[in-house]
Amino acid sequence: MEVFSNLFMGLQVALTPINFIFALCGVVLGQVVGILPGLGPIVTIAVLLPFTYSLDPVAAIMAFSGIYYGSQFGGAISAILVNAPGTEAAIITALEGYPMAKAGRAGKALATAAVSSFVGGIIGTILLTVLSGPMTDMVILFAAPEYFALMIFALVCISGFSENTTLPKCCFSICVGAAIGTIGIDSATGTTRLTFGNTSLYEGIGFVIVAIGMFAFAEVLRNLTNIHSEHKTEAVRVSGDVKISFAEVKELLPTQLRSAITGFFIGVLPGVGSTTSTPLAYLTEKKFYPKGNWGNGEVRGVASGEASNNSCAMGALVPLLTMGIPGSGTTAIMLSAFMILGIQPGPLLFQNNPEMVWGLIASFFIGTCILLAINLPLVKYCAKIVEIPTNFLFMSVLLLAVVGSFSVSQRFFDVWMMLLFAVVGLLFSKFKFPLTPCLVSLLLIDSIEVNLSRSFVICDHSFQAFISRPIVALFMFLAVAVIVVPRAFKLYKKKKAQA
Amino acid sequence: MKSKKELKQEIFVGIGAIVASVIYFCMAFSIKQKGLMLTTSANSLTPDTVPKIIGLIGIIVGFAIMIPAIIKYKKEAANLPDVAEDEVKIPFMTKDRIVIIASMCAYLLLIEILGYIIATILLAVGLLTYLEKGNYKKNILFAVIFVVACFLIFNDVLQIWLPLGIFFE
């Protein structure tokens, strides 16, 4: 019952005019950036962070969260109509939705995507609401050694589950982020570290500068090769009404529920996002309905992909809100937004600031309903967004990146640093180093150092005392398992195939 | 990895990672603790401990990138093509990227003299025209509206003072 009273309190906060307007702006903007291939929630939140310095924290966080889950809704539109997923999470939607659109069933594909996104979003938010209480009750018992082990576990998960790269490259990316994080004055001792006497580096290199450089600016530079060819994208016309009958919704509901639940729990794991959850949900549905028209416009494919990615986005917010641990690039930027606005996510947030956190959770319910209301009747107009010239969009990101990095400390040194990190971001892409581990470790290194230091004192400088703490031992065991088990399984499969 | 080129690149990346980590590791030794530091719950580590650990891990990871690539190169180089047929080329510096980065450097050098509005409009119009020639009216209109809106929002709403330059001060 406590959950309901908390949620009711949250609804009161979320429905205040200013919070409602910000949440609405967030979801609409999220929907727009989700539709636009090349612009994702990471880029958008990174360049918009400086706009929030003087805003009300609750309203600003609601807007950022709206951008995050709104983009999951929007990604489906360009995936279905242009075969260009606006977000990585919409790749599966493109696989089944685009053939549907080509066959003259664009309206049905879009309606299915909207309803499935809604179901996924609502299921994800319900699970977030139910699980956040027990999670915070557990995490609040953690002392420094447990926190240290938890953060190491999160970094190991991000390395272990990263796709399209190797484990050593992920670890090196983590080292780069941590190395950047050690620059500046050490908060515990007041010693300057690696500043070379440059006073501009005393405060360290801000997370926002690195995020804007490596994600936003570098993303524009990475996409430059597409500008000449992509700016006149033509979408498949939406023929017929964008609607889905009640019988069809009922038929798709088991698919949506299964995919949403899978997506949510995958999203909770750090480093595992919708790029894993959507194919998994899709493959599960393929096994449930082997006679479906898979690959040629199967409506269940669209439903599974959308329900899964929207629920996964909510799942990723669980470690962020309850433990203050980001599991992806977007949640890392959201965590920095929390910190900039003077809010420290974690178990104490639920104790000290329940209006804010429950208001945020309530805003997810409201935002998801708004997105459904936007997507069903207005989707034809939303589709026009894909036709916006790419060069104007990218120029907007470039200009916002400059002014955003300047506004961090009102000095051009930060803009030069941002430019430097854009080049570093390009180098990372060139040599296939993942960006997310770098960003997450940059954000966590300060806490890791503080908690390691405290752990030494608590455990009397004894490694044995440290590792014999049950929760620490559990996290360390899980960290080893995350690295060893998938590789051992792969090796076993390879040997079995050879035999 | 499917080609000799990719394996060579991996070896090069590993060496680069080792060199960078060794430099960082050596720099960590230059961190000098200020004055007498009491060991409390907040600072039981010296300020150079974590940087040294990071440098050391970086060196190990660099070897972990390089050694498997060397072993694979020695074992399989004879059977591998120079360049894989389906290799995805990821460029580092293309002409477009060089133009944008050089323009940005020039812009940052000029912004304090010309001021945010003039320098940014010049940058935006220049780059938009470079990216899509011929669309001058649209490009100028977009640049002026966007830059002026940005200036007004930051200066008047967010109280972040963007440079006015020598012409407006």
Please tell me chain A's helix, strand, coil percentages from 3-state DSSP, rounded to the nearest 5. Answer: 80, 0, 20
Which ranges in A83-143 belong to alpha helices (H)? 91-102, 106-139
| B48 interaction partners in chain A (CB closer than 8 Å) | 193
Whether residue A399 and residue B146 make contact (CB cut-off 8 A), yes or no, is: yes
Give the whole-angstrom CA distance, residue B125 versus residue B138: 9
pLDDT digits (tens, 9 = 90+) for A424-449: 999 998 888 998 899 889 988 988 99
pLDDT digits (tens, 9 = 90+) for A107-130: 888 889 889 999 999 999 999 999
DSSP B83: S
Residue A165 sits at φ, ψ, to 5 deg, of -155, 180
A300-309, B44-53, B110-119, B160-169: range with lowest mean pLDDT: B160-169
| Low-confidence stretches of chain A (pLDDT beneath 70) | 1, 37-38, 86-87, 225-240
| A458 interaction partners in chain B (CB closer than 8 Å) | 41
pTM: 0.85
Pick from A250, A284, A271, A282: nearest CA to A315: A271
Give the whole-angstrom CA distance, residue A40 versus residue A27: 13
Whether residue A449 and residue B41 make contact (CB cut-off 8 A), yes or no, is: no
pLDDT value of residue A149: 92
Whether residue B111 and residue A445 make contact (CB cut-off 8 A), yes or no, is: no
pLDDT value of residue A231: 45
Give the whole-angstrom CA distance, residue A30 versus residue A38: 13
Pair A110, A242: CB distance under 8 Å: yes
Chain B interface includes A400 (CB < 8 A): yes
pLDDT value of residue A407: 84
* Of B20 and A195, the one with more pLDDT: B20
Q: Is the pLDDT of residue B34 over 70?
A: no
pLDDT value of residue B101: 93
Pick from B151, B154, B152: nearest CA to A54: B154
Model ipTM value: 0.90
- For residues B50-55, average pLDDT: 94
Q: Is the pLDDT of residue B124 over 90?
A: yes
Q: Which residues have C-beta within 8 Å of that of residue B12, sequence separation ≥ 6?
A: none
| A431 interaction partners in chain B (CB closer than 8 Å) | 9, 13
| B120 interaction partners in chain A (CB closer than 8 Å) | 399, 402
- For residues B63-83, average pLDDT: 86
pLDDT value of residue A240: 65
